Amino acid sequence: MDTTVKVVSIHLVAAIVAALISVSFSLGWLGFKNEALAFVAGLIILYVIGQVCQNLFGEEIKGFSAWLWDGILPFAFCWFILWTILFNYL
């Protein structure tokens, strides 16, 4: 598999997990509602997954542009869209 596909796949799986955690904070499943904490939790997950991918594929992916298009944007789009859908329908 190509490195780009691996990095995007890892970020998309992490985005699904981040959306579920964000929804749990937004809907109060943990005993309190806090959308700001839900947003921060997603950013922390993005940072951790970025560091994991950097350790796994750091030599193969060079430059900020590659990380932006292969990691940050797919994560952000999937996370926000799934968070919004789940927030509205649960």
In tens, the pLDDT along 53-67 reads 999 988 888 888 888
pTM: 0.92
**Domain, as residue range, for 13:** 3-89
Compute the distance between CA of residue 35 and CA of residue 12 in angstroms, rounded to an integer. 21
Question: So what's the pLDDT on residue 46?
Answer: 96
Compute the distance between CA of residue 37 and CA of residue 57 in angstroms, rounded to an integer. 30
Residues 6+ apart with CB under 8 A from 3: 57, 60, 61
Number of domains comprising the chain: 1
The label of the residue with tokens 């955690």 reads 21
13-33 burial by CB neighbour count: b if 16+ within 10 A, else e?
ebbeebbebbbebbeeeeeee
